[in-house]
């Protein structure tokens, strides 16, 4: 079975081209191509460049690049096993490498003699010719994950602030007097408070004329109606949509509600509509 170098050399000669022509076509230095054809793959380059050169050169020569790379990996594995079996020879034996070949590309002459130029850097390898054997660096994916989690948390926190700001703006809208939410109780809580209040604690009657007001609900809402003179609660509870109630009062009353857009108050044929659409307090004389 022919070696890798023999197959490369035979394929090149079948194409009828020289090492220089192959180097110009593949953008790989001719001395590297010559060493590969001599089965010398120990030139000073990273392993990823060597595999890219071999694959690029094999593809240029119309050979199967995958099979060539498999044979190259087998040769490397065999060499590493042979070095391990040598044991102490690693420290007791040293082979001197032959000086690199000088080509017309690496030297030039001037009037002062022959000067060797610095070796050219390896030609860039096209990304589709290079096989990356390196595994992804551990920790990079974790960094990306934590960054995404942090961005999601920041976005959620910003959304919470925006929602609170909108709620505050809505509650603060309207010209009516703002109220505290604890004053709005459910109908069951209001009934429990009224039933637990002894009759003896009710405020004394006022010497004020008695008149009436009518509350109409266009939608569901809670209301609290309280006389200002004696702080007596004359109604507290829930009104269903379309409900209408008439209340007798003495003097001005304060009406606390949670949905101003659903409330209409009528007194002596005059209708009052709260300017606030949400929770607020109004006074009816």
Average pLDDT over residues 202-214: 78
Global pTM value: 0.32
Q: Is 160 helix (H, G, I), strand (E, B) or coil?
A: helix
Model confidence at 241, pLDDT cuts 50, 70, 90, reads: very high
What CATH number matches the domain at 4-90+100-129, 3.30.720.210, 1.10.260.40, 1.10.1660.10, 3.20.20.300? Answer: 1.10.260.40
**Residue 230: is it exposed, middle or buried by C-beta count within 10 angstroms (0-12/13-18/19+)?**
middle
How do residues 63-114 score in pLDDT, each as one tens digit? 999 999 999 898 888 777 765 665 444 444 444 444 444 443 433 334 333 4
Task: Report whether 255 contacts 273 (CB < 8 A).
Answer: no
pLDDT of residue 44: 84
Task: Give the pairing of strands 233-239 and 263-267.
Answer: unpaired
Domain boundaries, the chain: 4-90+100-129, 181-198+206-284
- Residue 131: pLDDT above 60? no
How do residues 11-64 score in pLDDT, each as one tens digit? 999 999 999 999 999 999 999 999 999 998 888 889 999 899 999 999 999 999
- Residue 148: pLDDT above 60? yes
- Residue 238: pLDDT above 70? yes
């Amino acid at each position: 079975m022919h070696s890798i170098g023999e197959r490369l050399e035979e394929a090149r000669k079948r194409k009828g081209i020289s090492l220089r022509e192959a180097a110009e076509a593949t953008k790989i230095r001719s001395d590297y191509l010559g060493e590969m054809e001599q089965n010398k793959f120990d030139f000073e380059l990273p392993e990823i460049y060597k595999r890219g050169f071999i694959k690029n050169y094999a593809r240029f020569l119309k050979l199967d690049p995958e099979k060539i790379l498999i044979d190259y990996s087998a040769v490397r594995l065999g060499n590493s096993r042979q070095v391990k079996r040598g044991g102490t020879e690693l420290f007791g034996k040293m082979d001197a490498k032959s000086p690199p070949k000088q080509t017309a590309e690496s030297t030039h002459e001037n009037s002062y003699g022959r000067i060797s130029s610095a070796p050219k850097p390896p030609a860039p390898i096209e990304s589709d010719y290079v096989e990356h054997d390196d595994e992804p660096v551990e920790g990079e994916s974790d960094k990306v994950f934590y960054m995404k989690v942090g961005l999601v948390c920041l976005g959620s926190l910003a959304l919470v602030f925006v929602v609170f700001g909108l709620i505050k703006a809505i509650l603060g809208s309207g010209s009516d007097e703002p109220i505290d939410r604890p004053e709005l109780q459910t109908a069951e809580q209001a009934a429990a408070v009224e039933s637990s209040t002894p009759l003896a604690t009710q405020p004394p009657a006022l010497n004020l004329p008695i008149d009436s007001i009518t509350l109409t609900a266009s939608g569901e809402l809670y209301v609290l109606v309280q006389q200002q003179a004696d702080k007596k609660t004359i109604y507290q509870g829930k009104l269903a949509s379309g409900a209408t109630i008439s209340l007798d009062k003495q003097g001005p009353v304060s009406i606390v509600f949670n949905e101003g857009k659903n409330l209409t108050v009528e007194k002596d044929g005059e209708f009052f509509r709260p300017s606030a659409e949400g929770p607020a307090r109004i006074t009816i004389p």
